[in-house]
Copies of this chain bind each other. A is one copy, B any other.
Amino acid sequence: MKSEKISELTTNRLSVYLRCLNKLAAAGIKTVSSRALAEQFNLNSAQIRKDLAYFGEFGTRGVGYTVNDLRAHITNILGLDTERRVGIVGAGHLGTALANYNGFTASNFAVVALFDNDRELIGRTVGDAQIKIYDVRHVARVVRAERIDVAVIAVPARAAQRVLNGLMSAGVKAVLNFAPARLNKRPDVKLKTVDLTISLETLSYFLARPPATSTTNPRGLLSFEELTPREDENEL
């Protein structure tokens, strides 16, 4: 184990590894080698070993890794053994959809508040969990009262910087931004932006300039591959 700084690519992969290990555990598998893991989930075994080695020596030479131990280690590395409390700013279509999203729970996140500036929405609740919508002007107070760790920005691009500033002032250190905007942040704050515009436009690029079509199947008929996706090893 070394004490270099860890690339976000590595932490992203740790999240993937954890998902894979959860599937293995659910299937009753007790032990796995980096090679087996790599083959089953289309990963690179050297990379798995390298990623893990940043944090410790979790394997047994000649054997591999104990599934449950490794799960526990990665869960701990990613901080998923502590519950995170989430506030969502923007109670529009996207914000409320996220408030109802179950994926949060699996990773030990709990959505505890929404915020909006629309008088009509403030005071209402969202979803079965009855999550309350607060006035966005009261972020600081609610962040404190509800002990919010993580914020989600689901407002129009033009309001995103203002909202981020408010969240940073309130002491929020981790923010997931869905607004298609490049935001300025303090260096002690972690900001991840999910930019749908960029994703869509990149897809469009691909449609406009399809890569050199393989000569083996010029008509675009269904390939073998499509008909036989490798089992449900894909259902992570």
Q: Is the CB of B205 within 8 A of A78?
A: yes
Whether, in the assembled complex, A145 has its beta carbon less than 8 Å from a beta carbon of chain B, the answer is: no
A37-51: which residues lie under 8 A (CB-CB) from chain B? 41-42
Oligomeric state, in copies: 2
Q: A182-B41, A199-B194, A202-B11 are in contact. Are A207 and B165 (CB under 8 A)?
A: no
Q: Tell me the count of chain A residues lying within 8 A, CB to CB, of chain B.
A: 84
Could you tell me the distance between the alpha carbons of A81 and B173 in the complex, rounded to whole angstroms?
40
Q: Is the CB of A168 within 8 A of B205?
A: no
A contact residues vs B (CB 8 Å cutoff): 5, 8, 11-12, 14-16, 18-19, 41-42, 77-80, 82, 84, 93-94, 96-97, 100-101, 103-104, 106-109, 149-150, 157-158, 160-161, 165, 168-169, 171, 173-176, 180-184, 186-188, 190, 192, 194, 196-211, 213-214, 217, 220, 222-223, 225-226, 229-230, 232, 234-236
